Amino acid sequence: MDDTRKAGMLRAVFILLMIGFVLFAMPAPGVQAKQDNSQLSNDRFTTDESGFFASAEETHIPAAAAERKIDKAAVQNLKVIPGGQSLGVQLETLGVLVVGHHLVTTETGKASPGEEAEVKVGDAILEINGDKINHMEDVKPYVEKSGAEEKPLNLKLKRGERMIKTELMPKKSKKNGEYQLGLYIRDSAAGIGTMTFYEPGSKKYGALGHIISDMDTKKPIEINNGTIVRSSVTAIEKGNSGQPGEKQAKFSIADHHLGNITKNSPFGIFGKLNGDLANGMMDQPLPIALSNEVKDGPAKILTVVKGEKVEAFDVEIVSNVPQKHPATKGMVVKITDKELLKRTGGIVQGMSGSPIIQNGKVIGAVTHVFVNDPTSGYGVHIEWMLQDAGIDLYKSNKKAS
């Protein structure tokens, strides 16, 4: 297949394979939180909607590593243990995230203090009156004091890469007598995804294969910290043309923590495991294949479709595009396994991050599903996930002295 045709296939209509996450936040007086539609029971929850959003645009990352030469010895010596496990993920945002505005009904009319202060959706509130803000409950005392003293709040916001300062004067609600910001905010998110790999020596891991973005703001979530635990798949909603399916799963964040989350990038989430993590079928380290080593043809993916059991299923690499620079979509993957098609209809939400194995090597992870053909989707090359996990495959540009 020539490069022109491959590029054409990579421009096909698709919907991003979101990871089946449900965003949640506890409301606090004086602020508003987005409604949580997850089903809670005994501190466990079942994900029942897609809460995290990831942009449908392909991401190209200008990285210094892309300009360096591959260290062939490092690649030959590197081995990783493939994943496939279903993960429960909890993220805490950097500061508190503004996800919407609302009007406050006062004695003199309706207004949104947040909008008047030019606080925008997607902003992260990092500080109030010079004090660091980590959680939604941190906000309430400042709002009450500001209203009682009739003094505006001094906010420090992060908007993209910019730091912005503004003043916000809360308004008293006629309905309940409380002072309010006129903002919807949240400070955490939780849901499920799939482990891709970990490096047995350093315990560095990669999962999901794409960035996690907020469903309301459509912007990447900047994380303060996070945790991964095991999750159990309870049901599968099969995918159909025009409507991707999804895994339904449950987990408890109180369960044994598998590791932390230190990075949320276009190539997935990354961190360090607390110990070894077995999948029960491919627990020995495997070599990796660079993008130019991937071949069109048969391969396998590892994923969970029931409980916590990792299974291998047949797929085909329909098209592979060797990449010199980091980019999020490098392969077109088609599910060919009859049993998997029977059980899921193809690629479903929650399968994102499922490792792809070809010729005994880890080559990448499933990341997207085509909206008009749920049997097919995109995959990301493993080398870009390794790079963001902090595993170096490249020679230094510095000349030896």
pLDDT digits (tens, 9 = 90+) for 165-180: 999 999 999 989 999 9
Asked whether residue 53 carries a pLDDT value surpassing 50, the answer given is no
Instruction: Yes or no: say if 196 and 83 are a contact pair by the CB < 8 Å rule.
Output: yes
Q: In this predicted model, which residue has the larger pLDDT, 110 or 392? A: 110
Q: Chain-wide mean pLDDT for the chain?
A: 82
Domains of the chain (ranges, CATH numbers): 3-93+190-197+231-258+276-388 (2.40.10.10), 103-181 (2.30.42.10)
As a whole number of Å, the end-to-end CA separation of the chain is: 45
3-class state of residue 387 by DSSP = helix
pLDDT tens-place string over residues 311-362: 999 999 999 999 888 888 899 999 999 999 999 999 998 999 999 999 999 9
Cα distance between residue 304 and residue 180, in whole Å: 44
CB-CB neighbours of 69 under 10 Å:
10
Q: 13-17, 32-36, 220-224, 271-275: which range is least confident on average?
A: 13-17
Reply yes or no on whether the pLDDT at 1 is more than 60. Answer: no
- Counting other chains too, the contacts that 250-254 makes at CB distance below 8 Å and 24 or more residues apart are 250/44, 250/45, 250/46, 250/47, 251/44, 251/45, 251/88, 251/192, 252/43, 252/44, 252/88, 253/43, 253/88, 253/90, 253/190, 253/227, 253/229, 254/43
Do β-strands 245-251 and 348-349 pair in parallel, antiparallel, or remain unpaired? parallel
Tell me which of 259 and 255 has the higher pLDDT: 259
Q: Which of 36-50, 140-154, 335-349, 382-396 has the lowest mean pLDDT?
A: 36-50
Q: Which of 26-40, 101-115, 214-228, 274-288 has the weakest average pLDDT?
A: 26-40
Query: C-alpha angle 259/378/6, rounded to 5°?
Result: 145
Residue 23: per-residue pLDDT: 37
Q: What values do phi and psi take at 135, rounded to 5?
A: -135, 160
What pLDDT is stored for residue 149 in this prediction? 95
Q: Assess contact for 207 and 304: CB atoms under 8 A.
A: no
> For the chain, how many residues are written?
401
pLDDT of residue 26: 30
Q: Nearest CA to 189 among 213, 157, 160, 218?
A: 213
86-141 pLDDT tens trace: 999 988 899 999 999 999 999 999 999 999 999 999 999 999 999 999 999 999 99
Distance (Å, whole) CA 58 – CA 151: 46
Over residues 140-164, the pLDDT tens digits come to 999 999 999 999 999 999 998 999 9
Residue 396 pLDDT exceeds 80: no
Catalytic residues: 210, 337, 352
Residue found under tokens 């540009």: 397
pLDDT at 78 over 80: yes
List the beta bridge partners of residue 159: 162
Residue 14's closest CA among 270, 370, 397?
370
| Dist. CA 371–CA 176, nearest whole Å | 45
